[in-house]
Amino acid sequence: MRLYLLIHYDGTPFSGSQAQYGISCRTVQGELWQALDALNLKSHVKRLHFASRTDQGVHAQGQVAELDVSDDFLGRVPDLSLALNAKLPPEIAVTEVLEAGLPDERGYYPSVQFDTVAKWYRYKWLLAPTRRPHQARNATLIHQPFNVARMQDAAQNFVGEHTFSYFKSPGSSVTDDRCLLHYASFSQQFDEEITFDLVGNRFLYKMVRNMVAYLHGLGDNRSQASTSLLSAQDVLGQCDRPASLRTAPSQGLTLMAIHYEAPCLQFNDVRVKTLSHALKKEFSNVENLFCQNR
Q: Side-chain half-sphere of 1: how many Cα atoms within 13 Å?
A: 13
Residue 55 annotated in active site:
yes
Q: Given the DSSP bridges, would you call strands 193-200 and 116-127 parallel, antiparallel or unpaired?
A: antiparallel
Which of helix, strand or coil describes residue 196?
Answer: strand
Which of helix, strand or coil describes residue 140?
Answer: strand
Q: Select which of 10, 55, 197, 220 is catalytic.
A: 55
Amino acid making up residue 110: P
Q: In this structure, what are the phi and psi dihedrals at residue 276, rounded to the nearest 5 degrees?
A: -60, -45
> Mind spelling out the 3-state secondary structure of 209-268?
HHHHHHHHHHCECCCCHHHHCCCHHHHCCCCCCCCCCCCCCHHHEEEEEEEECCCCCCCC
Of the candidates 71, 69, 57, 78, the one whose C-alpha atom is nearest the C-alpha of residue 15 is 57
Q: Cβ(36)–Cβ(28) under 8 Å? A: no
Of the candidates 238, 248, 258, the one whose C-alpha atom is nearest the C-alpha of residue 196 is 248
Of the candidates 217, 207, 128, 115, the one whose C-alpha atom is nearest the C-alpha of residue 168 is 207
Q: Side-chain half-sphere of 292: how many Cα atoms within 13 Å?
A: 9
Active-site annotation, residues = 55
